[in-house]
Amino acid sequence: MIRVLIAEDHTLVREGIKQLLSMADDIEVVGEASDGDVLFAALRETACEVLLLDMTMPGPHGIEAIKRIAALPQAPRILVLTMHNETQIASRALKAGASGFATKDSEPTMLLAAIRKVAAGRRYIDPALADRMVFEMGMGDARPPHETLSEREYQIFELLVSGVSVTEIGERLSISSKTVSTHKIRLLQKLNLTTTADLVRYAFEAQLFTPGV
Amino acid sequence: MIRVLIAEDHTLVREGIKQLLSMADDIEVVGEASDGDVLFAALRETACEVLLLDMTMPGPHGIEAIKRIAALPQAPRILVLTMHNETQIASRALKAGASGFATKDSEPTMLLAAIRKVAAGRRYIDPALADRMVFEMGMGDARPPHETLSEREYQIFELLVSGVSVTEIGERLSISSKTVSTHKIRLLQKLNLTTTADLVRYAFEAQLFTPGV
DNA sequence: GTCTCGTGTAGGAATCGCCCTACACGAAGC
DNA sequence: GCTTCGTGTAGGGCGATTCCTACACGAGAC
């Protein structure tokens, strides 16, 4: 029996996934979490083989959450579930310790297959996504510009898009605002943009982030 | 029997919702659509009482789609389903012809209740959302905040969103940058926002711009 | 007719953020 | 091994922006 923990903030989606998983005889949902803090509490108390993890949820989330989970003793296999099929995010997630990457575009049967695969210690990547990853990685500089951003730049990119000021980013990350500003300038150059407004528009057009988080 | 059509682009979410609805005896899913074009085709061929509509999907979507659907002969009741609980978007959706507004944070039973309510010709708004709407917008005023902007403020709003700096706006309009800044502060207050990034996000979420996806 | 209120307009002070410059450090190249 | 490059880190100077304040003017309100 594969024990699965579902981390997904939208109740409706979470319940829907539970319903879908209940169709499989070899999969059992042993817990769920609606935000990052609840998730870490659940992980401490509930043993499971697979964690179904949404990338965007309140509290600790995303790449950082994956790193923390992967570092836990008896860490479950992590199957990332996301709305967008961004190669960028996928490769970062896998690098951070995730075992698989599925999008919400997937067929339900594919999700079951993905869970079984990562539970067995193998990797799973959404086929369409894997295709694009291979293609884009092979193309070198034909990759979308945002994939050339460094970790730090990407982190600041996200914060800027979500409306946090340069000064406050500095405070949150405990670095000088000057440093944040430098990262901002560099990432703007990489993306060939000039203003913060451009940045937000870029993020929306590339559908990198979920609005309203 | 309430016949429901589901318009939602993410297969997994769509299937999950189908599973949830199948638990109710009085609700029947008669069709589904993964993008705007498929949706309009389905609406022509399939009669239904309630359309469960995701605001963000490929093809015709959002407020524009709601207007078009509401204008159809024998238009179904529209229950909007969204990830975010944005009051602005909700009021615009209702004004455009939607009968209800539920978020994906809702409990499954609330979704069933919402479907039954709109099927009966009544309105449904997510309780938490309704609360915020009343609080943020004042009783009865269902107008989106950006409609309360003055001509000048709206003009500067557009320029800011398209990436023009305060100084350059001043030059273009032949007024002081200080004046532009004043307008900016006032319009941000009206929209209950704080930064330029928020402004651009708002514009996208309220779909004042058509993202070229 | 006067009195608000919203709007368009700025100035001065303070702050923020950009730009240039710089340096340390690890990875990759030669 | 030495060099180059990308990255993360800042400081100083200065222009850009905000914040507070102010005033004129037209539209309604009373």
Q: How far apart are the first and last CA of chain A?
A: 35
* pLDDT of B80 strictly over 70: yes
In chain A, which residue's Cα lies nearest the Cα of B11?
A: A105
- Buried b / exposed e over B138-152, threshold 16 CB at 10 Å, is eeeeeebbbeebeee
Q: What is the pLDDT of residue A134?
A: 61
Quote the CA–CA distance of A146 and A154 in Å, as a whole number. Answer: 8
Q: Residues 6 or more apart from A171 whose CB is under 8 A from it? A: none
Q: How far is the CA of B167 from the C1' of C24 (A)?
A: 37
CA distance B44 to chain A (A): 25
Q: What is the pLDDT of residue A4?
A: 92
Are A198 and B163 in contact (CB < 8 Å)? Answer: yes
Q: What is the pLDDT of residue B85?
A: 60
Q: Report yes or no: A147 and A136 within 8 Å, Cβ to Cβ.
A: yes
Domain-wise residue ranges, chain B: 2-136, 144-206
Under the banding of pLDDT at 50, 70 and 90, the label for residue B86 is low
Closest nt to residue B175, judged CA to C1':
C9
Quote the CA–CA distance of B70 and B43 in Å, as a whole number. Answer: 11
In chain A, which residue's Cα lies nearest the Cα of B163?
A: A197
Q: Report yes or no: A56 and A81 within 8 Å, Cβ to Cβ.
A: no
More confident site: B59 or B167: B167
Give the closest residue to B56 by CA, choosing from B36, B32, B37. Answer: B36
Six token digits for residue B139:
């009783």
Chain D footprint bases within 7 A of protein beta carbons: 6-13, 16-22
Beta strands in chain B (DSSP E): 2-7, 27-33, 50-54, 77-82, 100-103, 124-125
Q: Which residues of A touch B (CB under 8 A)?
A: 9-13, 15-17, 19-20, 81, 83, 103-108, 111, 160-165, 194-201, 204-205, 207, 210-212
Those residues of chain A that have pLDDT short of 70 are 59-60, 84-89, 91-92, 132-148, 205-213
Same fold for the domain at B2-136 and the one at B144-206? no
Chain C footprint bases within 7 A of protein beta carbons: 6-12, 16-22
Fold type of domain A2-136 = Rossmann fold (3.40.50)
- The size of the A-B interface in CB pairs under 8 A is 129
Q: Report yes or no: B88 and B145 within 8 Å, Cβ to Cβ.
A: yes
Six token digits for residue B121:
């010709």
CA distance B70 to chain A (A): 25
Q: What is the dihedral of CA A179, A212, B60, B2, to 10 degrees?
A: 160
Answer for A54: CB within 7 Å of strand D: no
3-state secondary structure at position B136: helix
Quote the CA–CA distance of B199 and A65 in Å, as a whole number. Answer: 29
Q: What is the pLDDT of residue A99?
A: 85
What's the sign of the alpha-carbon dihedral A159, A162, A165, A167? negative
Q: Which residues of B touch A (CB under 8 A)?
A: 9-13, 15-17, 19-20, 81, 83-86, 103-108, 111, 160-165, 193-201, 204-205, 211-213
Tokens 């009021």, located at residue: B91
Q: What is the pLDDT of residue A87?
A: 61
Quote the CA–CA distance of B113 and A116 in Å, as a whole number. Answer: 35
Fold type of domain A144-206 = Arc Repressor Mutant, subunit A (1.10.10)
Six token digits for residue B163:
């990436």
Quote the CA–CA distance of A94 and B23 in Å, as a whole number. Answer: 36
A-chain CB neighbours of B107 within 8 Å are 11-12, 15
Q: What is the pTM of this model?
A: 0.63
Q: Which of these ranges, A111-125, A176-190, B31-45, B143-157, has the smallest mean pLDDT?
A: B143-157
Other residues' Cβ atoms within 10 Å of the Cβ of residue A146: 18
* pLDDT of B212 strictly over 80: no
Answer for A189: CB within 7 Å of strand D: no
Q: Report yes or no: A197 and B163 within 8 Å, Cβ to Cβ.
A: yes
Q: How far is the CA of A27 from the C1' of C4 (A)?
A: 69
